[in-house]
Amino acid sequence: MTVDAFLESLRQDSPPPDLPPALVALWHDGRGAWTDAHDAVQNVNTPDGAWIHAYLHRKEGDIANAHYWYSRAGRTPATGPLEAEWRAIVEELLTRR
């Protein structure tokens, strides 16, 4: 799936059925459903899941919790625009598919 196709899928009522849980979380967040995104990433026990978790808590404004998750992901805490981080995560995960 391309980034453009992923972005286009945000117009649908549900995520594409072949998306892995990490991308499902980002799909929900892309539609403005933070709680659904957080629920979707809860059981993604990978560095990617931790990165998404960090992003979501940064978006929520819980910076201390976000830093914890960035550490679990092995990443430096992001400081740029949230939209740019969301897109960077989407692009990286889609590139690896």
Where are the alpha helices (H) located in the chain, listed in sequence order? 3-9, 21-30, 34-41, 47-60, 63-73, 82-95
Cβ atoms of 57 and 65 within 8 Å: the answer is yes
Phi-psi region of 32 (alpha: psi -120 to 50; beta: other; left: phi over 0): left
d(CA 32, CA 5): 18
| Statement: residue 89 has pLDDT above 90 | yes
pTM for the full predicted model: 0.95
Residue in the block written with tokens 């453009």: 4
| Tens-place pLDDT, residues 6-58 | 999 999 999 999 999 999 999 999 999 999 999 999 999 999 999 999 999 99
